[in-house]
Amino acid sequence: MNRQAIEPSLKKIILFDILLPMVLLILGIAMGFLQILYRAGVIHSRSFLGIEYYQGLTLHGAINAVVFTTFFAVAFGHAIIRYYTQKPLLLGWAWISLIAMTVGTVMAAIPMLTGKASVLYTFYPPLKAHPAFYFGLVLLVVGSWIAFFSWIPVYRAWKREHPGEKTPLALLGIFTTFIVWFIATIPVAVEIIFLLIPWSLGWTPTVNVPLARMLFWFFGHPLVYFWLLPAYVMYYTMLPKLTGGKLYSDFAGRFTFMWLIAFSAPIGIHHQYTEPAISTTWKAVHAFFTLLVAIPSLVTAFTLAASMEHGAREKGGSGLFGWWKKLPWVDTDRWMFSYLFAGLFLFIFGGITGIVNASYNLDNVVHNTAWLPAHFHQTVAGPVFLAYIGGSLLLLTTLTGREVAMKKLNVWIPYLWTFGVMVFSTGLFVGGVAGEPRRTNLGLSYMNPGSPLYQPQWKFSRLFGSIGGTIMFIAMLLFFVVFFATALRKKTREGALELPVSEPYHDEHVPALLSMRPWIVIAIVLLVIAYTAPFLELAKARYEGAPPYAPDNPIAQTK
Amino acid sequence: MLEKRILFAATVFILAVAGVIALTVRLFGIGLPNCLTDVRPFREAKVIEHAPKRYEIHYVARMWQFEPADVSVVPGSTVDLYVSTADVTHGMQIVGTNVNLMAVPGAVNFARVKFDRAGDYLVVCNEYCGVAHHNMAGRIHVTEAATAPPKPPPPTVPLMRGQKVLDDNGCTACHSLDGSASPGGTFKGLYGSTRQLADGKTVTADDAYIRESIEKPEAKLVKGLDPIMPALPVASDEITSVIEYLKTLK
């Protein structure tokens, strides 16, 4: 496909969807850097520059993992739907979506920045945030739903005009992304609207914490597939083209997407292995379903490696490993390759450690330790983050008709980031197995030689964690320089939409994978199987409710 | 089709992983906490020695301490741990063992652990529970000498500023510095004042009283205040600096 001129209004929407979270990301990344300074015992203090440790941690998680990802997924969705259907979108709804998401973000940001919502981005009750925080989250989610719903009639119209044609893989991937997101966000909407908001406003005195936690994790795991899927869309539809070849198997892509619709949600209890109030039977069922979700990732690893090999051999590569030399490692014209490949490399380790986390009783060793942030910095801060910042830069350049600034530097940024993540994660994996807790201001106690809790045996992990984290921070500073320098330079041609598009090498016809409907039905059936009994167990046990607590006060806030 | 064979291989691999997990549960009995519905959430910490080397501990997790904070058992002991929370969600990991439990409001969690090796086991709260979460820890001493836990080594750092110690440990959450009403009473004018205790006695707030109140908050309860203050792991010299600081709050 070629360059397509798009409506100026849509261009504005997509650019705003990218620029707003990119500006916020500067704060999110800075907060990440401060985390490692506190945790390494460089800062022995409760707060730094007026921002308290746990407040900074909340900002880091909320901006990087919720705001940035949701905005990018919507922007990317607009672009993919517009590009592949070649039909105008429903711009009125796209504007409403953008406004709702922006207002929601501002509403949630104010209590976070003023220290009234230091509850981390998982906002577990009975720690209570300011009600505006919860309202903001709801608006952000509803805004993303509006964008999703507005694409459905456009896609329907495309199908009517192309009877008998396979839906392009990219469109299928975006719809998969938002179907997973929609399924995921219903339980968290129930948690926030029916449990947390009335409770935070003082209308209900207590909240059922085991119920709230189960609803949260019903959302929390499909959430990570919502993050991952836009990256998968780029891997399947862009990466083969960038290597100069074709997608090895169209079937693998469709299988991966459809399998993730079915299996990404009935597995949330694997985050709750060490909790009371859930029986081991259902923990085991969720463990088994979780392992099944690894299958498409293994298939993806094979397919993408095969696609890259095909591309490299097309370019004249040969030998068992010799073709590796023909990949566009630092090709400034195909710079997106380095963002996607570096993320894939991290995902090998992120995927393996994910299987460890999912492995039922192994979780006893790593649950809530530093192992967890090590794992998700190789996944969310690996393939997801690199694809999203690369994708943001790609959309910026094509839509505004600008060339990437500092091209040579740009292709190296993902490798520097990846090196940083590997060092950082090595430290945190080692620390996690040795019992070092996550989400903890270690600098005041466990990493403070003056404290009776001082744990010198965690020093090694802290050293690696802080060196790796510093490298990651430098990589991101360089990225911001490249990104904003690109945004500010002169344009070289008219802005338009142009994305790399891979063709399939094997274009198999597998009828079961052509329609999303049966897979949505399977997803619902699996959810009913996986969650009916656990919810009934909770209802039967009648757990005593909990009054709200402020993070800085051990006395409940009761009237 | 190669991709179909890969799909098959991936499935076999995943089923094998599931099989190994099932074997470890069956053969070695390494499990996860189950759902307990026959134990009511409790607020009273207990250490019960049912028989030699057979203990039951009721842990109460609260912002920001474990009760009991220190427990001593002899090597080879099997310990049944029940964990309840008095306020928010906490985590409880006994570093160096497979015990890793969430303390969730409304429910009671359980694990059984056998301590074969002697040593001091650190008990860490590994779920964020508020501003002083990083201070929430306890110890289990596995020692032949049982009962008397060894004293922590004397601190070697220079004096920290008292105000910072108060801030870092979350003290100011309950104790205001400016005389305004607060759940634990204000620090303003505290030093040297006469305190009315719950048992009817009076005491002067001198160095010894303040030190004891930080180390053992339950020792001298002030009349009208709830017995909710945690014993925080604050070093001796930090307490000295707090006392010096409190003297300045006239």
Residue in the structure block whose two tokens are 């008397």: B148
Cβ contacts (< 8 Å) between A126 and chain B: which residues?
87-89, 105
8 A C-beta contact, residue A151 and residue A89: yes
Write out the H or E segment, with its range, that includes residue A248: strand A247-249
For range A144-168, the mean pLDDT: 95
Q: Which residues pair with B109 in a beta bridge?
A: B83
Q: Which residue has the higher pLDDT, A416 or B243?
A: A416
Helical packing angle, A280-314 and B2-28, nearest 10°: 150
Write out the H or E segment, with its range, that includes residue A247: strand A247-249
Which CATH architecture describes the domain B46-142? Sandwich (2.60)
Lowest model confidence (mean pLDDT) among A128-132, A405-409, A451-455: A451-455
Return the pLDDT at A1: 65
How would residue B151 be classed by pLDDT, with cut points 50, 70 and 90? low
Helix (H, G, I), strand (E, B) or coil at A557: coil
Tokens representing A45 are: 């203090």
Enter the pTM of the model. 0.89
Told to judge if A60 belongs to the known catalytic residues of this protein, a careful annotator would answer no
The answer to whether B95 contacts A434, with C-beta atoms less than 8 Å apart, is yes
Cβ contacts (< 8 Å) between B238 and chain A: which residues?
450
Q: H/E/C letters for each residue in B69-94?
A: CEEEECCCEEEEEEEEECCCCEEEEE
Please state, in angstroms and rounded to a whole number, the distance separating the CA atoms of residues A90 and A153. Answer: 9
Please state, in angstroms and rounded to a whole number, the distance separating the CA atoms of residues A257 and A247. Answer: 15
Please state, in angstroms and rounded to a whole number, the distance separating the CA atoms of residues B92 and B138. Answer: 10
User: At A556, which amino acid appears?
Assistant: A
Is B162-248 the same fold as B46-142?
Answer: no
Please state, in angstroms and rounded to a whole number, the distance separating the CA atoms of residues B171 and A54. Answer: 16
How would residue B160 be classed by pLDDT, with cut points 50, 70 and 90? low
Q: Which residue has the higher pLDDT, A62 or B250?
A: A62
Return the pLDDT at B36: 85
Contacts of A10 (CB under 8 A, 6+ apart): A78, A82, A88, A89, A91, A94
**Given a cut of 70, is residue B156 above it in pLDDT?**
no
Cβ contacts (< 8 Å) between B237 and chain A: which residues?
450
Q: Which residues pair with B103 in a beta bridge?
A: B90
**Given a cut of 60, is residue A81 above it in pLDDT?**
yes
8 A C-beta contact, residue A286 and residue A530: yes
Q: Which CATH class is domain B162-248?
A: mainly alpha
**Given a cut of 60, is residue B149 above it in pLDDT?**
no
**DSSP strand E in chain B: where?**
46-51, 54-62, 65-67, 70-73, 77-85, 90-94, 100-103, 109-115, 119-124, 137-142, 194-196, 202-204
Q: Which of A224, A42, A46, A43 has the alpha carbon at shortest distance from A121?
A: A224
Cβ contacts (< 8 Å) between B135 and chain A: which residues?
444-445, 453
- How many angstroms separate the CA of residue B204 from the nearest CA in chain A? 27
B214 has a chain A CB within 8 A of its CB: no
Is B218 exposed, middle or buried (CB count within 10 Å of its CB: 0-12, 13-18, 19+)? exposed
> Around Cβ B242, how many Cβ atoms within 10 Å?
24
Question: What's the first-to-final CA gap in chain A, in angstroms?
Answer: 63
Share of chain A above pLDDT 70, in %: 100
Using CB atoms and an 8 Å cut-off, which of residues 130-169 of chain B contact chain A? 130-131, 133-135, 137, 152, 155-157, 160, 164, 167-168
8 A C-beta contact, residue A431 and residue A370: yes
Residue-wise pLDDT for A207-242, tens only, equals: 999 999 999 999 999 999 999 999 999 999 999 999
How would residue A199 be classed by pLDDT, with cut points 50, 70 and 90? very high
Is A318 exposed, middle or buried (CB count within 10 Å of its CB: 0-12, 13-18, 19+)? exposed
Closest A-chain CA to B109: A276
The answer to whether A280 contacts B34, with C-beta atoms less than 8 Å apart, is yes
The answer to whether B6 contacts A298, with C-beta atoms less than 8 Å apart, is yes
Which listed residue (A221, A270, A286, A310) is catalytic?
A221
Closest B-chain CA to A128: B88
**Given a cut of 50, is residue B32 above it in pLDDT?**
yes
Cα A269 off chain centre by: 19
8 A C-beta contact, residue A136 and residue A106: yes
Mutate to test the interface with B, among A38, A360, A535 (most CBs of B within 10 A): A360
Q: Are strands B54-62 and B46-51 parallel, antiparallel or unpaired?
A: antiparallel
Told to judge if A402 belongs to the known catalytic residues of this protein, a careful annotator would answer no
For range B48-57, the mean pLDDT: 92
Tokens representing A189 are: 């909407």
Cβ contacts (< 8 Å) between A545 and chain B: which residues?
105-106
Q: Which of B39, B35, B102 has the alpha carbon at shortest distance from A537?
A: B35
**Given a cut of 50, is residue B39 above it in pLDDT?**
yes
Q: Which of A195, A91, A183, A197 has the alpha carbon at shortest distance from A139?
A: A197
Q: Which of B124, B29, B83, B60 has the alpha carbon at shortest distance from A277?
A: B83
**Given a cut of 60, is residue B158 above it in pLDDT?**
no
Residue-wise pLDDT for A458-511, tens only, equals: 989 999 999 999 999 999 999 999 999 999 999 999 999 999 999 999 888 888
The answer to whether A451 contacts B235, with C-beta atoms less than 8 Å apart, is yes
8 A C-beta contact, residue B73 and residue B141: yes
Which listed residue (A84, A438, A446, A464) is catalytic?
A438
Residue in the structure block whose two tokens are 């986390």: A357
Is A186 exposed, middle or buried (CB count within 10 Å of its CB: 0-12, 13-18, 19+)? middle
Helix (H, G, I), strand (E, B) or coil at A172: helix
Q: Which residues pair with B141 in a beta bridge?
A: B72, B120
**Given a cut of 80, is residue B194 above it in pLDDT?**
yes
Cβ contacts (< 8 Å) between A127 and chain B: which residues?
88-89, 128-130
**DSSP strand E in A362-418: where?**
none
Told to judge if A225 belongs to the known catalytic residues of this protein, a careful annotator would answer yes
Told to judge if A270 belongs to the known catalytic residues of this protein, a careful annotator would answer no
A364 has a chain B CB within 8 A of its CB: yes
The answer to whether A545 contacts B110, with C-beta atoms less than 8 Å apart, is no
Going from N- to C-terminal start, the domains of chain B cover: 46-142, 162-248
Told to judge if A506 belongs to the known catalytic residues of this protein, a careful annotator would answer no
